């Protein structure tokens, strides 16, 4: 997994690029995004995936707003917006709150080798 982080002294946001391979339908964390205390963030994850023989592909654009109020992270609204650019049936990208982080998670298919790449950006306020 390769991670590239970029932040400024003004707290203007972050960018990360991560990757992971899956071989089954288990949910796997591809990135962990911290939600700073006293901040709200807009989180956007753009994810591309492909089966090892290129027979199946998927593209995802998932976005949500989270807030960390005194150590408690909550999602603004009912569910993250998940736009499937193209997806193999059953493949998915989801966000899950874990303490003061948001996990970006991917799920492939049983007995299928899938490579995933995620570019995640945050904008805090």
Tens digits of residue pLDDT in 47-92: 999 999 999 999 999 999 999 999 999 999 988 888 877 778 889 9
What integer pLDDT is reported at residue 7 of this predicted model? Answer: 47
Whether 41 has a pLDDT exceeding 80, the answer reads yes
What integer pLDDT is reported at residue 21 of this predicted model? Answer: 98
Q: How far apart are CA 125 and CA 28, in angstroms?
A: 29
Tokens of 36: 């700073």
What are the angstrom distances between the C-alpha of 83 and each of 8, 9, 20, 39?
29, 32, 20, 25
pTM: 0.88
Q: How far apart are CA 13 and CA 43, in angstroms?
A: 10
Element (H, E) at 115: strand 114-124
Unique residue bearing structure tokens 């956007």? 44
User: Domains in the chain, please, with CATH?
Assistant: 14-124 (2.60.40)
Give CA angle at 20 (19, 22), nearest 5°: 150
Element (H, E) at 18: strand 14-22
Mean pLDDT value of segment 10-33: 92
**pLDDT tier for residue 11 given thresholds of 50, 70 and 90:** low
Tokens of 96: 């899950």
């Amino acid at each position: 997994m390769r991670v590239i982080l970029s932040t400024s002294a003004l707290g203007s946001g972050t960018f990360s690029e991560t990757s992971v391979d899956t071989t089954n339908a288990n949910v796997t964390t591809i990135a962990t995004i911290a939600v700073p205390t006293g901040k709200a963030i807009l989180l956007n994850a753009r994810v591309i995936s492909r089966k090892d023989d290129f027979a199946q592909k998927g593209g995802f654009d998932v976005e949500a707003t989270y807030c960390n109020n005194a150590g408690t992270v909550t999602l603004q609204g009912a569910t993250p917006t998940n736009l499937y650019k193209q997806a193999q049936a059953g493949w998915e990208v989801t966000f899950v709150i874990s303490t003061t982080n948001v996990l970006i998670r991917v799920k492939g298919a049983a007995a299928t080798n899938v490579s995933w790449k995620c570019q995640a950006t945050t904008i805090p306020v």
